[in-house]
Amino acid sequence: MRLSVKIAVYMLGVIAFAVLLLTYLTNAKFRSLQEEVERSRFLALALDIKGTAERGLALGLDLEQMDNLGAILDRLDREHPEILSLRILDDQGEELHAAGPPLEPATTTAGLHHLRVLGEAGGEAGLRDVSGDSAFGLMVPMVNAFGQVAGVLVLHYDRAPAEAAARAVTLEQMQFAALALLFGGLAALLTAALYLRGVTRGFARMTRWAEEEASASAAEGADDDLERRFLEVRRRADEVEEMVVRAENRLRRG
């Protein structure tokens, strides 16, 4: 394989590696940002329900007495097709109001346990991620006027549309990357061929001189220091060969 092609292949390899790295890492950042925007949209709905429930709790009502919560959950479930499930549970995990099936019971139970532990330690309850394999989810604690957790809202949503959009972006990025690599490959080949032209020609010429029986090409002249040095080496090699011939002749005569 020609030196310029070999170097171009490696250059392309390096560029491909860098392009893949860039594509992967930017895609990762994009997905994080996309998830954040998506989550904040559902969080806005969840915080609205939390506000409604906490106003009722402040008036002395129990969560299970607030029938309007069920209606709100049903309406949101109807209006937002990405919402898979909306449930209000009491602090023991008992379902009080629900729209949609219960999802990811394991993460929900773990979330509730965490809230209980936090409550016992006197910590402040906050938003918790209850995503699982089948759906993404949020758990929002609802506190009464004394700051005690009276229950939680668990919202699970479907990420399929966002995933589809992210996949489309990834595909686009791959296409850009492939196109850039094609351009990069051609440019690398051209660059390497042009840049190494002097070196490859020099070595090709020296190869020819090395393969010739006698150093007749010395007259051709050398273009640079390396070639000049090789011509000297070639001349020396011929001298050494002459020494061998001289020894052979003397041996024959002797």
Partner 1 sequence: MIEERKLNRLSYGLTALTLLLLALVLSAVALASLRSFERVLQPQLAAKAEVVAEVIVSQVDRGLQAGVPLTELRGFTDFADIVLADHPEIVRVELRDAEGRVLFASSGAPLPPEDAAWAGEEPVTLGGERLGSLAVAVAPGYVAERLREIEGEVLVILLVSLFLTFEILLVVVAMFVTEPVRRLGRLLAEGEQGVFRHTAAGEGSDEIGRFARAFNGLVRRRQARYLRLRESLGPATPPEIAALVQDLDRRLQPEERPEDRAAGSVADVRMPLFLFFFATELSRSFLPIFARDLYTPLPWLSYEVTIALPIALYLLLVAVLTPLAGALAGRFGSRRLFLIGLLPTGLGLLMTALAGDILALILWRCVNAAGFALTTIAALDYIARAAGRNRRAEGMAIYTAAFVTAGLCGTSIGGILADRLGYHATFLVAAVLALLSAIMLVVNLRARGAEASGGGVRLRPADFLLVLTSARFQLLILIAAIPTQLLTTGYLFYATPMLLDAVGYSTSVIGQVMMVYFVVMILLGVPSARLADRFGRYRLFAGAGLLLAGFAALLPAATEGAAHFALWVALSMGLVGIAHALSIPAQGAILLQEAERVGGERRTASIAAYRVLERVGSVLGPLLAATLAAVYGYAWTIGLLGLYVLACGLVFTLVSLLRRRGGAAATN
CB closer to partner 1, 90 vs 238: 238
CA separation for the pair 35, 186 (Å, rounded): 38
The answer to whether residue 218 forms part of the interface with partner 1 (CB under 8 A) is no
Q: Do residues 91 and 116 make contact, with C-beta atoms less than 8 angstroms apart?
A: yes
CB closer to partner 1, 90 vs 110: 110
# residues contacting partner 1 (CB under 8 A):
81
Each residue 9-28 as x (binds partner 1 by CB under 8 A) or -, in order, gives: -xx--xx-xxx-xxx-xxxx
Report, in Å, the least distance between residue 94 CB and partner 1. 27
CB closer to partner 1, 39 vs 87: 39
CB neighbours (10 Å) of residue 44? Answer: 9
Report, in Å, the least distance between residue 150 CB and partner 1. 21
Among residues 95, 129, 163, 239, which is the contact residue for partner 1, using CB under 8 A?
A: 239
> Residue 86: beta bridge partners?
99, 155
The position carrying tokens 């089948």 is 134
Among residues 58, 71, 117, 204, which is the contact residue for partner 1, using CB under 8 A?
A: 204
Give long-range contacts, CB 8 A cutoff, 24+ apart: 51-58. 53/88, 53/142, 53/151, 53/153, 54/142, 54/143, 54/144, 57/142, 57/143, 57/144, 57/145, 57/150, 58/144, 58/145
Residues 38-97 binding partner 1 (CB under 8 A) are 38, 40-41, 44-45, 47-48, 79
Q: Which of 131, 173, 141, 189 is nearest to 4 (CA)?
A: 189
Among residues 114, 191, 193, 218, which is the contact residue for partner 1, using CB under 8 A?
A: 191
Only one of the segments 84-92, 104-112, 127-135, 184-192 lies at the binding site for partner 1 (rule: CB under 8 A); that segment is 184-192
Among residues 118, 169, 193, 218, which is the contact residue for partner 1, using CB under 8 A?
A: 169
> Residue 85: beta bridge partners?
156
Report, in Å, the least distance between residue 112 CB and partner 1. 22
Residues 104-163 binding partner 1 (CB under 8 A) are 162
User: Is residue 202 classed as helix, strand or coil in its secondary structure?
Assistant: helix
CA separation for the pair 94, 107 (Å, rounded): 15
Among residues 118, 193, 210, 218, which is the contact residue for partner 1, using CB under 8 A?
A: 210
Q: Which of 134, 24, 159 is nearest to 82 (CA)?
A: 159
